[in-house]
Every structure is written in structure tokens, then in C-alpha cells.
């Protein structure tokens, strides 16, 4: 039985109700709450703040006469799980994660965008929704819309498989942690995933994809490259991070436009 919230019922974590989102079906999901406002304002310069609860900063934009929600998730798969559960019960159907990642293929440059078609399930949260044999795949039509949007935006992008982890250092085989120690079972992980044609590491997409599939929702994921792991474990905080943000914002705008047009919401 599908749960639906009452119109004025405020969800405990996100601080939103069905009435507040004004029939929005699309939601953009940055991890960082500080990104919510700027993302919302690429859709609508007059986007309004709806709620600021815990790690969830939510803005409502009007885009071609339709409401679009931007709601930050916080970092990692468990936070994504909570966010999706509460957004689903107030009526959201289309979920686009935007964020940053570390690329592990040498052909991918800082500032490029990766569009994930599927994720390697290295997280724990998704296992509470489906067994490990269940694939973490993006929604085909929605992801195709995002790819078409990327082509229109002219931003540099790559399409493929992402590895999604619960830990930033150990599971992604980063040696610049406090101890510098990686379990033997994790040593060589980056080389192995690179050989298997995985493009990047991030921390949310596998939970998002599994939940969306199980819950009959639509999910896509785009991440800007801020670390080129074949060269360095360092995260780029200079203009390249700004370029990644600018590129994913353009792709999000054009991709959601393509999706809405395909569905007949925009003439």
C-alpha cells in the first residue's frame, strides 16, 4: 500500500508538506544545503525558501509554469534514504541528484560532468531496500532526457557506471586520511574499478537508484568532477570546482526541460 501524506502534514526531517510544494513532481537533490539556493535560481530567479531543517534546505522554483523543488540531502546514502522517503509521500516523482565526484578514468578531466547510468552498490543503505543482486540503475527515459540536456548545454560530459560508497576515504581507497591505513580488502580497489570501466566515485547514487526502482519513481544523477584520482587524491577547490558546478547546473536545467517537454508539460 502506497503511503500519501495529508496535505498539511509536515514531514519530520525535511520540514515540508504536500501543500507547500504546489504540485511539484520534480526535485533536484544537491548534497550541500548551501547549493540549494543557487540551483533553484537557475530555474527561477525568484525561487523562494520553503524550509531549512537539519541538512535539508528547500527552495521552490517556478519553471515554465510548473513547480520544481530543490531539496538538499546532506552527505551519504543514509541521508538520501530519509530524504527520498519523505519526498515520495508528499508527491515527488522525478529525482535528479547533483553533486561532486572523483574521476578514476584518465580521459575524464576536472570540471567535466558524469551522468550515471548505474552504480556499484558499495553503500549499506540500499541493502535495506533490496538484496545485493538487485541492480542500482538510473531511470532510462529520465537519464536520456538529461543526456539530451547535456548535449544542448555544450558542457563536457561522460556517461557510464559510478561506484557509490559510504566512506569518503577507505572505500574509495584514499590514503590521505588520518591514519593512512586502508583495509587489505580495499587495497587495489580503485585499480580494479577502473579496469571494470567504472568512471567515478561518489556517495549517494546507489541508494537513490535502488529506492527509485523499488518505489516506482524516476531517478537520474549528474556529478561534477572535482578530483582526478589518476593523478592526485586532492579535491580541487579552485576554478575547476566552479566549472563543475556551472556545468552541472546547465545540464540540470536543460535536462529537466527536455523531460518536461517529452511528457507534454511544456508545449
- Is 174 part of the annotated catalytic residue set? yes
Report, in angstroms and rounded to the nearest whole number, the Rg of the chain calculated over CA atoms: 18
- The active-site residue, picked from 174, 202, 204, 249, is 174
Q: Which three cell numbers stand for residue 148?
A: 539530451
CA dist., res. 35 & res. 242, Å (int): 12
Give the residue carrying C-alpha cell 584518465.
Answer: 106
Instruction: Confirm if 120 and 198 have CB atoms less than 8 A apart.
Output: yes
* Sign of the torsion formed by the C-alpha atoms of 105, 110, 112 and 118: positive
Lookup: cell for 253: 536545467
Ramachandran angles phi, psi of 157, nearest 5°:
-145, 160
Contacts 24+ apart (CB under 8 A), 44-51: 44/68, 50/15, 50/16, 50/20, 50/21, 51/14, 51/15, 51/16, 51/20
Of 86, 148, 204, 249, the active-site residue reads: 86
- Of residues 25, 35, 229, 249, which has the active-site annotation? 229
Where do the DSSP E strands lie in 104-252? 113-122, 136-137, 157-165, 198-202, 218-228
CB-based contact 122:210 (threshold 8 Å): no
Catalytic entry in 9, 13, 37, 85: 13
218 catalytic per annotation: no
Report whether 230 contacts 224 (CB < 8 A). no
Grid cell of 113 as nine digits: 560532468
Which residue is listed with cell 525535511?
14
Catalytic machinery residues: 13, 86, 174, 229
Amino acid at each position: 500500500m502506497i503511503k500519501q501524506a495529508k496535505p498539511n502534514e509536515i514531514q519530520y526531517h525535511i520540514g515540508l508538506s504536500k501543500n507547500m510544494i504546489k504540485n511539484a513532481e520534480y526535485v533536484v537533490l544537491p548534497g550541500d544545503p548551501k547549493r540549494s539556493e543557487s540551483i533553484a535560481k537557475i530555474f527561477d530567479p525568484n525561487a523562494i525558501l520553503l524550509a531549512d531543517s537539519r541538512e535539508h534546505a528547500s527552495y521552490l522554483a517556478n519553471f515554465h509554469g510548473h513547480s520544481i523543488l530543490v531539496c538538499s540531502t546532506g552527505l551519504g546514502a543514509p541521508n538520501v534514504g530519509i530524504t527520498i522517503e519523505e519526498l515520495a509521500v508528499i508527491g515527488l516523482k522525478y529525482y535528479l541528484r547533483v553533486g561532486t565526484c572523483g574521476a578514476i578514468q584518465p580521459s575524464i578531466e576536472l570540471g567535466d560532468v558524469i551522468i550515471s547510468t548505474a552504480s556499484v552498490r558499495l553503500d549499506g543503505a540500499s541493502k535495506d531496500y533490496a538484496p545485493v543482486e538487485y541492480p542500482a540503475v538510473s531511470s532510462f527515459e529520465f537519464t536520456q532526457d538529461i543526456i539530451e540536456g547535456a548535449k544542448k548545454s555544450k558542457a563536457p560530459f561522460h556517461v557510464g557506471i559510478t561506484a557509490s560508497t559510504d566512506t569518503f576515504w577507505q572505500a574509495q581507497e584514499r590514503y590521505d586520511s588520518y591514519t593512512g591505513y586502508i583495509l587489505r580488502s580495499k587495497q587495489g580497489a580503485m585499480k580494479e574499478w577502473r579496469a571494470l570501466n567504472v568512471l567515478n566515485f561518489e556517495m549517494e547514487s546507489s541508494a537513490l537508484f535502488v529506492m527509485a526502482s523499488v518505489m516506482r519513481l524516476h531517478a537520474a544523477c549528474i556529478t561534477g568532477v572535482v578530483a582526478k584520482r589518476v593523478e592526485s587524491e586532492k579535491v580541487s577547490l579552485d576554478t575547476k570546482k566552479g566549472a563543475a558546478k556551472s556545468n552541472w547546473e546547465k545540464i540540470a536545467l536543460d535536462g529537466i526541460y527536455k523531460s518536461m517537454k517529452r511528457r507534454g508539460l511544456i508545449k
